[in-house]
Chains A and B, each alone.
Chain A
Amino acid sequence: MLSTLPASDWDRNKAAILLQRAGFGGTPQEVDALAALSPTEAADSLLGPAKFLPPDPPAFLEESSMEEALKAERDKLNSLPDPAKANGKREVAQYLRANQGRQMTELRGWWLKQMAEPARATREKLTLFLHGHFATSFEKVRSPFLLYQQNSLFREKAYGMWSDLVLGVAQDPAMLIYLDGAKSRAEAPNENFARELFELFTLGEGNYTEKDIQESARAFTGWGIGSTSGKKAGLLRGSQPSFKNVPKWHDAGVKTIFGETGNFDGSDVVRLALAQAAAPRWITQKLWRFYAGWPAPEPLLQELVKEWQSLNGQIRPFLMAIWTNPNFYDAVRSADRVKSPTEWLVGLCRQIGRPLPAPVLSSHILNLLGQNLFEPPNVKGWDGGIAWINTASISRRYDYGSWLVEGTQGLQKLSSLNMVKMAAESGLLKMSMPEISPEGMLTTRGPKEMDPAEKQAALEKMKAAVALSPAPVDDITTSEERQSPEKLLASLSTRFLSGETIPADLRTRFQQAAGEKIPYTDAAVRKMILAIVQSPLYQVT
């Protein structure tokens, strides 16, 4: 069993580490509140109630479904000769993509907003872990609704039994599309999901055979998604495919998986996989690594496994156990956990007390920092750790740091952005469904055909929405601190660096930024904050 940190060892520094790692960081006041509790109370209060209170869903779910209109459109197009038909189909596809792109932007912004809410941060951080673990990409799934639904599954089941989560994912429509389960049939089982279930989701390479995969793929046949026919009308949320168990698709023959023989189905495969000795090692190591930043060495891993087994694979109490374990705060490894781009962005906004940038800008920033939410690079998810860092990403972190701290100075810093694209993704520039006139002429109404004045107005609106004002530093510093370089340095490093000792290198950068003039102006304070944000130390926790 894991040992627990004695209350006497609990201090402000550890509370700040926990606040950052368990969620997305926060203000010095939040750290103080945590530090006043015992380690167990602190972990428990961060996790919040075990009972799940779902957030309000994103607005696009209430949009009307386009299925019917699209089908009518395609029928009309099919009656046309080429090239009108081909052109028309391209325009319809482009319209669809534009519409989905707008919904994805809204979805990303919606999720980031949940992360930035202090009371939700911990569950959202775990949801982010699960998104990376059960990586599923919009690139293939092409349905904002199904990705929202999968995200909700993670959120809802995050604190419960690991086995429920794995089973839920195996029956999740987005996953069924992403790893081809939806197309797998008894006569030609598709191995994709079975392979990744073992290799990436539950066991790890080397803990199963090719035969186990082939037989499991047979067992999973029958689990697919229902068609959308019959539910075309109405709202988006009612028009999407859902999980369906279809006996005639299922291979009902006998299979041998992990040495056991029977007429197995998908639930059996999940049960058999999770019963393997490799299963608790795999998930406990991944959770430890995500939260602590470094891999648990063998003796610790064995303790994690024992803890996990004694808790029957319940996630919430397991997180309590690792967050109160002394190893979690090992000082030697304290500079080994690199903040993910999402953690960096949400955390920085929380620390300087500014709202998140507009969804379209937040999405852009995260994409260029290497973590485009809902589009992980592949089924392995994001590698994390030092893989977040290369000179492209570090230069960008520094640039975006200056946007968030000093503002975008009019729009000067945003000059590399494609405002038209952003306006379209934000829904300010709309494309309407292509239409076919009785003469067979195709008309699309998009930005190309928009009234120039109307288009200009939309672009101006977009510019206003993405411009960032300088961070409000009045609430961050007192006038007393502004008189004293030492006091200000202490106060800012407490806020931004969880109170660690300040290395000489950073002290130098900081002093350079501060300049000579006392009391420090708002601009000077921002320069000093930026000196911290644009330092290697700020990128780790």
Chain B
Amino acid sequence: MNNHALKTRREFLRTGLLGGSLSWTLPAFLSRTMQTLHAQADGALIQGVTGRDGNILVVLQLAGGNDGLNTVIPMGNDEYRKARPTLGLTDSSILRIDPQTGLHPSLSGLASAYHDGNLAIVQGVGYPNPNRSHFRSTEIWATGVDSDKSSTSGWIGRYFDNACSGCDASVGIAMASQLPQSFAATTPKGVLYQGGGVAKKKSSKKKGTIARDADTSMMAMDDEEEVGEAGGSIGMLNGPGNLGHLSALDFLERTEMDAKLSQQEISNASSKAKNTVPFPGSRLAQNFAMVSRLIAGGMPTRIYYLSLGGFDTHTQQTDAHSRLLKEMGDAVSAFLADLKAQGNLGRVTLMTFSEFGRRVKENASGGTDHGAAAPLFLAGGGVKAGLLGQMPSLSPNDLFDGDVKYNTDFRSVYATVLEKHLGVKSEPILKKPFPLIRAYG
């Protein structure tokens, strides 16, 4: 199969698949299902949901359980100071955004987004009967079902099933090494992009030589970034555990096909555009830079998914948490600036989430244990800046097992983003109605 011939799945399916000229190399799985796919491809052309001007949701997962209480901080609060004698931040260092509330000092990027009118802070986000297991709680956020239920599909996957049934796999792109469970769908969609150090590569790649600049490489020796093959690599998300009737071999055959199809599409889009503002060198910021280029390059992707790990701060939290928040805040701030310069800021909403917040009372190891509700951020041109929901009470009588109680169901946030930003009905996706929050004008 010639890659250059395969511009998009739709085009490929329309022109190649039933034509017969290529079918002799098609994996068995595809030849069994091409009729269905072909029908879906036509449907997508009619629905046209993936137009280049459609709105885009960028999801940023803060993996490990971000300490919400030291991210969005109640100011002048005695309970906070009592619960956090060593970890508590002093009022003078906090970036004040209203009389009672401030942001962690490392979040200056987000504070300016707030003042520019591009950041909404939703407080006290969680769900009933909170689970404190990383995996289970991540699963609850990913599937969007009640904490005593389970689902084989993710909320983003159900969005794909409902609103983008015939789209290319690249309607969702995850810049992550872990497959987001939220992408799991009846018809799996989503492409994995593992770019590696994009900016670094540019500076150190010399054609025809193997040795990279010794000094910069040595400095970066412990850097987590791995040097990927040129141009990064693309991966199809698999809808974990949701294979249905497919055998692993069927799945492999389909994935092989998707690899060939998506590779060119992404490299085309990313090479078309340049970042207009400098991005920090962190992996997260470089991933945001890539997303920004893909948006500028006209990818029809509706959902981008990024993640930053390391928030499970059981011990010696202060420096680690501060570093993580800085990495996040600076990356997001560059991303918003780049989108603004492109003129795409209004089309994009960035939503952060973490599987849970952390225990109100700090532990004896200079850290915090798994908690429950926490704040999350919504950023973008369409977002109505402000503080939404309520800062949960820290008074010991109001806590449940030492954790703050939620006042905004995370699915209200999902429903709002789906309805107000992506323009689809939320009930078929979230399986029941949730009150919307006032995050959009």
Contacts and interface: CB of A to CB of B under 8 A. Distances in A.
Nearest to A338: B248
A120 interface: no
Nearest to A446: B218
Given A293-B248, A377-B178, A418 B212 contact: yes
Contacts of B255: 389-391, 394, 536
Given A421-B217, A421-B221, A536-B253, A391 B226 contact: no
A350 interface: no
Nearest to B237: A390
A373 interface: no
A293 B194 CA distance: 27
B248 A336 contact: yes
A420 B211 contact: yes
Contacts of B191: 391
Contacts of A188: 363-365
Interface stretch (A36-44, A232-240, A274-282, A409-417): A409-417
A448 interface: yes
B227 A395 contact: no
A396 B233 contact: yes
Nearest to A187: B364
Given A188-B363, A396-B233, A399-B229, A418 B252 contact: no
B314 A536 contact: no
Interface in A324-380: 333, 335-338, 364, 367-368, 370, 377-380
A446 B221 CA distance: 12
Interface in B195-231: 210-212, 214-215, 217-218, 220-222, 226-230
A183 interface: yes
Contacts of B214: 420, 447-448, 455
Contact of B251 (A187, A377, A389): A389
Contacts of B251: 386, 389
Given A389-B255, A391-B191, A391-B235, A185 B179 contact: no
Contacts of A463: 210
Contacts of A429: 218
A180 B314 contact: yes
B229 A199 contact: no
Contacts of A392: 192-194, 233-235, 259
A199 B137 CA distance: 13
A215 interface: no
A255 interface: no
Please list the 9 inter-chain residue pairs (A to B) with the smallest Cβ-Cβ separation, ordered nearest first. Answer: A188-B364, A390-B235, A391-B259, A392-B235, A335-B249, A536-B252, A392-B233, A420-B217, A391-B235
A94 to B, nearest CB: 7
Given A391-B235, A448-B214, A416 B228 contact: yes
Interface string A429-447: 1000000000000000011
A450 to B, nearest CB: 9
A81 to B, nearest CB: 21
A389 B217 contact: no
B133 A195 contact: yes
A419 B210 contact: yes
A411 B370 CA distance: 49
Contact of B365 (A183, A210, A391, A447): A183
Nearest to A450: B214
Interface stretch (B20-28, B69-77, B291-299): B20-28
B210 A417 contact: yes
Nearest to B224: A139
B240 interface: yes
B210 A415 contact: yes
B185 to A, nearest CB: 15
B236 interface: yes
A420 B218 contact: yes
Contact of B259 (A185, A394, A540): A394
A194 B283 CA distance: 33
Contacts of A379: 134
B218 A185 contact: no
Given A180-B365, A336-B248, A424 B218 contact: yes
Interface in A21-58: none
A15 interface: no
A191 B370 contact: yes
Contacts of A385: 248
A387 interface: yes
B314 A417 contact: no
| Most central of A94, A333, A446, A505 by chain B CB within 10 Å | A505
29 contacts: A183-B314, A188-B364, A195-B132, A195-B133, A195-B370, A335-B249, A335-B250, A338-B248, A364-B226, A378-B134, A386-B238, A386-B248, A386-B252, A389-B252, A391-B258, A391-B263, A394-B259, A419-B210, A420-B212, A420-B218, A420-B221, A421-B221, A424-B221, A447-B215, A448-B214, A459-B211, A503-B28, A505-B26, A537-B249
Contact of B211 (A395, A396, A419): A419
Contacts of A101: 221-222
B256 A447 contact: no
B181 to A, nearest CB: 10
A143 interface: no
Interface in A188-217: 188, 190-192, 195, 199, 205, 210
B238 A390 contact: yes
B363 A540 contact: no
B369 A190 contact: yes
Given A386-B238, A503-B28, A395 B259 contact: yes
A97 interface: yes
B315 interface: yes
A411 B210 contact: yes
Nearest to B131: A205
A390 B236 contact: yes
A228 B178 CA distance: 36
B323 interface: no
B286 interface: no
B243 interface: yes
A447 B218 contact: yes
Contacts of A455: 214
A483 B216 CA distance: 53
Nearest to B148: A206
A387 B240 contact: yes
Given A389-B238, A394-B256, A210 B132 contact: yes
B31 to A, nearest CB: 9
Contacts of A180: 314-315, 365
A537 B251 CA distance: 11
B136 interface: yes
Given A391-B259, A419-B212, A335 B228 contact: no
